A and B are shown apart, each in its own frame.
Chain A
Amino acid sequence: MTPLALTAFTATSCLGRGLDATLAALEAGRTGLVPCAFETVTLDTHVGEVPGVDAAHLPPELGEFDCRNNRLALLGLRQDGFDQAVRAAAGRLGPGRIGVWLGTSTSGILETELAYRRRDPATGALPGDFRYRGAHNTFSVAAFVRRALGLEGPAAVVSSACSSSAKVFASARRAIAAGLVDAAVVGGVDSLCLTTLYGFHSLQLVARNPCRPFDVARDGLSIGEAAAFALLERPGNSLAADSVLLLGTGESSDAWHMSAPHPEGRGAGAAMTEALVAAGLTAGDIDYINFHGTGTPSNDAAEARAVAAVLGERVPGSSTKGATGHTLGAAGGLEAVICALALRHGLMPGGVNTSAVDPELRVSYLRDSRRARLGRVMSNSFGFGGSNCSLIFGRAG
């Protein structure tokens, strides 16, 4: 594929708002996971909650989109001058030439969950303030971001569970190559809600303590929330050396099981291979891999097999979910931004919380952050329904 430049990017998660806070936490090996005190949830677990989400007020003209997910989106858009960068691009290219592809798994479902507690006792009707289009519908976050940024191009939400906001890079890549748009706002926004907290609990996939990806004693994931965005454009003639490029995307389906990965990581390996082919690279070209690494026994085992098969056992890698939690539909976007930071600052973030790497997982797992010049890195994202996506990013120089 023709490389695309990430001309602006930002991330907000439990590690903090914006790139500086995210980078500082990754460098220090700090986790943002805390005992769950979200809403009325009584589960004994840790979550990666973003402080101050509900204090982010949507402008009155965008009030129809008000929900926790879109408040988190707004908080995210305002960091690192991302919104100004998009507006500047819209001024240059035209608002109709910039598309919006965002990933989310649950959108504004929290507001629906709360509305179901306030149904009319006589008729069962939802309260009058329930908003289907602006909050409940899966598209609401893309509709909101598009409107908030004044964009008029094509838009869609990709909602393929935990691969959602990795796959948006592939959709945007195709739309730009096909001439549908000249640039695209991509990323993911997913926020805490009862459906995912109690849902993953029902599958016995939630850890009590902060998750420990790739640890011999790993026992499940920790759920987080995040808003991460990037502006993708064709690279100009004068790229700074630390500019970050999207070099390759790979997508596949397990065709195996709704909630468990293929045990040999068949689909994961296919996605990684496709990304390498798209980038015109081979396994030896990858300097660091950001694992999907949820911390569930089966995910990490399947991913390690796939990585060992495609990239070998020597490429250093880590999961940053011990720091951020699993931000589900935002994970691909968040980890893409972490990869961009890794490339720009020459930092391989260590996987926090992991104390003894599982010897069965034949990968080179980084427990401590390491400084190194990185040329190309890979990010993996795998979701329910066997939806896999791998992305490769590189430095311009």
Chain B
Amino acid sequence: MSAPLTAWVEGVGLLGPGLPGWAAAAEVLSGRAPYEARTTVIPPLECLPPAERRRTGKVVRLALSVGLEAVRNAGADAATLHAVFSSSGGDGENCHEICQVLAGAERQISPTRFHNSVHNAASGYWGIATGATAASNALCAHDASFAAGLLEALAQIRTDETAVLLIAYDADYPEPIRARRPIPDTFGVALLLTPTATKGSLARISAELSTAPAVLLPDTRLEALRAQVPAARSLPFLQMLARGEPGTVVIDYLEEQRLQLVVSPWH
């Protein structure tokens, strides 16, 4: 990479097991509060019309919830934002239901199941919910999906000089896929990133590719989460953000390369 890619973090949204929102999660990640492992609770979605709301699965609710939280925490207007959605598996429940029906005699998929099967379903519902008409991406890079989404957002911030909302999210599969892709629970993180600082900026981040090993988390339960959920590969970075201290952290990306993030708190 010729020069590190930089951005300012304006707002964070987070939902995961025992991590119910950024404010509470920051207490835990910074060590100010103990971690209590609990199943992820996804709040009901108020932002979609009832007809659309009924059609959404938990993956879409997860993605929209963390996205809205980051926008709220930043005091931004969701309708104006570019977005990058990144997920390793998308809607595994929906995929399972379709495969089950296709393995039967009738093969009659519901139209809603089919349109929800696209990897950009969360992006589509986000547009309907917020009225955001700017570019929105939908990425997948298996276990590298968080860092791939972050790089996409940072490249867009560098070249197009626009604010980008990154939403990385993953959900657990039902059986039988679960046995082969054992993601234990849902986890979503959203970062509202901007090209220049504002008075509400949390930190400046500067990213470059690295071959150094990824940072592990000292808490064994959080480390297990990091290792098992692709979107939770963000946790060491979120921990640094929660502590509000400057530092450098290396997170997982593709097999032979990692992403190094230099975090500089703003206030």
Contact = CB atoms under 8 A, between A and B. Distances in A.
Given A179-B1, A253-B136, A385 B107 contact: no
A112 B100 CA distance: 10
Contacts of A256: 127-128
Interface in A170-203: 170-171, 173-175, 177-180, 194-195, 198-200, 202-203
B120 to A, nearest CB: 4
A156 B111 contact: no
B220 interface: no
B77 to A, nearest CB: 13
Contacts of B253: 154
Interface in A29-68: none
Contact of B130 (A112, A178, A255): A255
A195 B253 CA distance: 30
A251 interface: yes
- Interface-central residue, B89, B113, B138, B160, by most chain A CB under 10 Å: B138
B109 interface: yes
B248 interface: no
A96 B120 CA distance: 28
A142 B137 CA distance: 16
Contacts of A253: 123-124, 127, 132-136
A105 interface: yes
A195 B116 contact: no
Contacts of B110: 202
A177 B140 contact: no
A271 to B, nearest CB: 8
B219 to A, nearest CB: 27
B100 A116 contact: yes
Contact of B120 (A136, A139, A252, A385): A385
Interface stretch (A14-22, A117-125, A208-216): A117-125
A112 B140 contact: no
Interface string B117-132: 1111101110110111
Interface size of B as a range: 35 or more
A385 B123 contact: yes
Given A154-B254, A180-B151, A195-B109, A113 B102 contact: yes
B140 A157 contact: yes
Nearest to A157: B140
A292 interface: no
A310 B176 CA distance: 49
Given A179-B2, A384-B115, A255 B141 contact: no
B39 to A, nearest CB: 23
A154 B151 contact: yes
B137 A160 contact: yes
A228 interface: no
Interface stretch (A126-134, A233-241, A293-301): A126-134
Contacts of B95: 109, 112
Contact of B138 (A142, A155, A159): A159
- Interface-central residue, B98, B108, B155, B256, by most chain A CB under 10 Å: B155
Interface in A370-396: 383-387
Contacts of B128: 255-258, 386
B38 interface: no
